Amino acid sequence: MYVIKDEPRTLINGYIDFSTRKKLGQLVTDAYKWSSLLQENTLQLKTIRGKKRLLPEIKNVSIEFFLIQAMKNNELPFKYRFANNVRGSHPYLELYNDDTIIHVNQVSRKNMCARKAICRDVLFKPIQSYIEFEELDEISYHEKRYFQLNHGYQTSTPEFVTLGIPNNSYKFDASIPILEEYTAIEGHLPKSKIEKIDGDFLDAFQRYAEGDEQNEEGNVK
Within 130-214, where are the H helices? 178-186, 199-209
pLDDT digits (tens, 9 = 90+) for 141-196: 447 899 999 999 888 899 999 999 999 899 999 999 999 999 999 999 999 989 99
Return the exposure string of 176-193: e unless at least 16 CB atoms fall within 10 Å of the residue's CB, then b.
bbbbbbbbeeeeeebebe
pLDDT digits (tens, 9 = 90+) for 82-138: 988 767 667 889 999 999 999 999 999 999 999 887 788 888 887 777 776 444 444
Phi-psi region of 177 (alpha: psi -120 to 50; beta: other; left: phi over 0): beta
Burial tier of 67 (Cβ tally within 10 Å: 0-12, 13-18, 19+): buried
Please report how many Cα atoms fall inside a 13 Å half-sphere around the Cα of residue 211, on the Cβ side.
Answer: 3
pLDDT classification of 220: cutoffs 50, 70, 90: very low
Counting every residue written for the chain, the total comes to 221
- Alpha carbon distances (Å) from 168 to 70, 103, 119, 190: 31, 16, 13, 32
User: Which is more confidently placed, 48 or 123?
Assistant: 123
User: Which is more confidently placed, 2 or 210?
Assistant: 210
CA distance 51 to 125: 36
State residue 88's pLDDT score: 66
Q: Does 1 have pLDDT greater than 80?
A: no
State residue 82's pLDDT score: 92
pTM of the model: 0.85
CA distance 172 to 163: 9
CA distance 71 to 219: 7
CA distance 34 to 32: 5
Determine the 3-state secondary structure of 26 from DSSP: helix
